[in-house]
A and B are shown apart, each in its own frame.
Chain A
Amino acid sequence: DTAVSQTPKYLVTQMGNDKSIKCEQNLGHDTMYWYKQDSKKFLKIMFSYNNKELIINETVPNRFSPKSPDKAHLNLHINSLELGDSAVYFCASSHIARETQYFGPGTRLLVL
């Protein structure tokens, strides 16, 4: 019954590693997002996809690459992880006409 799910919930890794975070929504929405929430709790949009196409790409290092295999999935791959990448990453989805976003539970990434 989970509307927006993310895996894993916790991710601890070493600097320089490559990791992926998966996101799935079963709400039938056509727009999905990735957000980064820093230690000060500020939520900043990273990417937005509509019908598998990238529509928003904020100033994010190109080590971050989103991939949308279909409308229900938006995965985030991160190359060469850095200490500053430590944060909570949230996936969200919305129906483009309704502007209401539904968030996943977050992935807590810690880079050592």
Chain B
Amino acid sequence: TQLLEQSPQFLSIQEGENLTVYCNSSSVFSSLQWYRQEPGEGPVLLVTVVTGGEVKKLKRLTFQFGDARKDSSLHITAAQPGDTGLYLCAGARTGNQFYFGTGTSLTVIP
């Protein structure tokens, strides 16, 4: 059992569609991060959310941190082929301990 569960695990959609990825845990985190990893590369940070209930927008991506700081969601509007990749959430605890989620592999079909 992983500390952070992501759903769905795999997602294949048509260009222009909307989607939401969930990152859930029963543990509280001081902050939560979302990364995107492209094939053959390391994960790259997209956003960090710190406050419960916080919402951050990055162009067509909207990130939300749950009120209790146990979960988060990533919503993509009008997905583009360039959004294809592995999306990873990561929860931070004190002492620089990070726990990565199980990952969501997104494919956007042109």
Chain B interface (Cβ < 8 Å from any Cβ of A)? 2, 30-31, 33, 35, 37, 40-45, 48, 86, 88, 90, 92, 95-100, 102-103, 105
Contact = CB atoms under 8 A, between A and B. Distances in A.
A101 B103 CA distance: 17
A27 interface: no
A106 B98 contact: no
Interface string A40-77: 11111100101000011000000000000000000000
A107 to B, nearest CB: 10
Contacts of A48: 96-97
Contacts of B33: 99-101
Contacts of A33: 98
Contact of A106 (B42, B48, B92): B42
Contact of A100 (B40, B45, B100): B45
A50 B37 CA distance: 25
A96 interface: yes
Contacts of A55: 95-96
A25 interface: no
Contact of A90 (B30, B31, B42, B90): B42
A25 B21 CA distance: 31
B96 A44 contact: no
B96 A43 contact: no
A99 B96 contact: yes
A103 interface: yes
A50 B33 CA distance: 20
B96 A106 contact: no
A74 to B, nearest CB: 13
Contacts of B96: 31, 48, 50, 55-56, 94, 96, 99
Given A99-B31, A99-B92, A100-B33, A44 B43 contact: no
Nearest to B102: A42
Q: Which of A33, A90, A101, A105 has the most CB of B within 10 A?
A: A101
B2 A42 contact: yes
B103 to A, nearest CB: 5
Contact of B103 (A31, A35, A43): A43
